[in-house]
Amino acid sequence: MTSHRARVGHGTGCAALIAVLVLLGFCKGAGGTATPTTRTNGDTAQTTTSLPPSRIPMDTPSPSPPPTPSPPVVVAGCVQPDSSSSHVYNPDRLQVLKPCISVTGTIDFIRHEADGDLHVGLKLDQQFAGLVNPCNATCLKGAEHGDLVVEPVCEGTVTQADAKSACVGYHNPLVIPPVGSHVEMGGAYVLDRDHGWTEIHPLQEVHVI
């Protein structure tokens, strides 16, 4: 009777020990440690170690290089009255106030001149009103209507003797929009010393807007 109880007690202790060992193994696996796994292949036992998903090494992608900035856009300047390519006769009569401007306004009138140029009266939009002076409104009995004078050169037949050489072999390709057009015009901003008013002369570009 005593011997049977001893065997029962011994068996119960072994079972408790096994339960403790199993519990410890479960805790280690849950903590992210490597868990050995034994596989049997025929007569050979192979042991492999697997890592939990959170511990598997991942390839880190290399950062992309920063984009190369685009080079700045270089804007060509306006042709100056004293340039050989301007086709302006007697350029010394023009004082350059600003080498290159672009303004907007409405074409008020278009007049052909004896030097082959056009006189385009540009009624400036409000933000550009300061570009005209009193002479634009009063000189030659108000011939320029208070507008900024814009001169595309060599647009017509030259009858003025001292202006003929400037237009030899050249006809201006610019097409001037009709009266009433709202436009943007660009070129050298000058003072006409002979008359006293301000101009864009020569006109370099025009766009209807």
Let me know whether 34 and 96 are in one domain.
no
Quote the pLDDT of residue 4. 45
Task: Count up the domains in the chain and report the number.
Answer: 2
9 — pLDDT class (breaks 50, 70, 90): very low
Euclidean distance between CA atoms 26 and 85, whole angstroms: 92
Euclidean distance between CA atoms 168 and 172, whole angstroms: 11
Mean pLDDT over 12-23 rounds to 51
Which of 75, 87, 79, 99 lies closest to 155, judged by CA? Answer: 87
**Is residue 108 situated within a structural domain?**
yes
Mean pLDDT over 145-158 rounds to 97
> What is the residue-averaged pLDDT of the chain?
79
- Burial string for 133-166 (b: 16+ CB within 10 Å, else e) reads eebbeeeeeebbebbbbbbbbbbbebeeeebeeb
Domain extent, residue 31, equals 1-38
Tell me, what DSSP letter sits at residue 139? H
With 0-12 / 13-18 / 19 or more C-beta atoms within 10 angstroms meaning exposed / middle / buried, residue 36 is: exposed
**Is residue 46 situated within a structural domain?**
no
With 0-12 / 13-18 / 19 or more C-beta atoms within 10 angstroms meaning exposed / middle / buried, residue 81 is: buried
Quote the pLDDT of residue 106. 98
6 — pLDDT class (breaks 50, 70, 90): very low
Quote the pLDDT of residue 67. 43
Query: Rounded to two decimals, what is the model's pTM?
Result: 0.63
**Is residue 84 situated within a structural domain?**
no
Question: Which has the minimum average pLDDT: 14-18, 58-62, 153-157, 194-198?
Answer: 14-18
**Is residue 47 situated within a structural domain?**
no
**Is residue 85 situated within a structural domain?**
no
Quote the pLDDT of residue 16. 52
Let me know whether 113 and 202 are in one domain.
yes
**Is residue 59 situated within a structural domain?**
no
Let me know whether 95 and 9 are in one domain.
no
Let me know whether 132 and 200 are in one domain.
yes
The CATH number assigned to the domain holding 117 equals 2.40.50.140
**Is residue 48 situated within a structural domain?**
no
121 — pLDDT class (breaks 50, 70, 90): very high
**Is residue 45 situated within a structural domain?**
no
Q: Are 197 and 113 in contact (CB under 8 A)?
A: no
Residue 30 has pLDDT above 90, yes or no: no
Tell me: the pLDDT tens digits for 193-206? Answer: 999 999 999 999 99
Q: Which residues touch 49 (CB under 8 Å, ≥6 apart)?
A: 34, 35, 36, 37
Residue 45 has pLDDT above 60, yes or no: no
Quote the pLDDT of residue 15. 52
Quote the pLDDT of residue 10. 47
129 — pLDDT class (breaks 50, 70, 90): very high
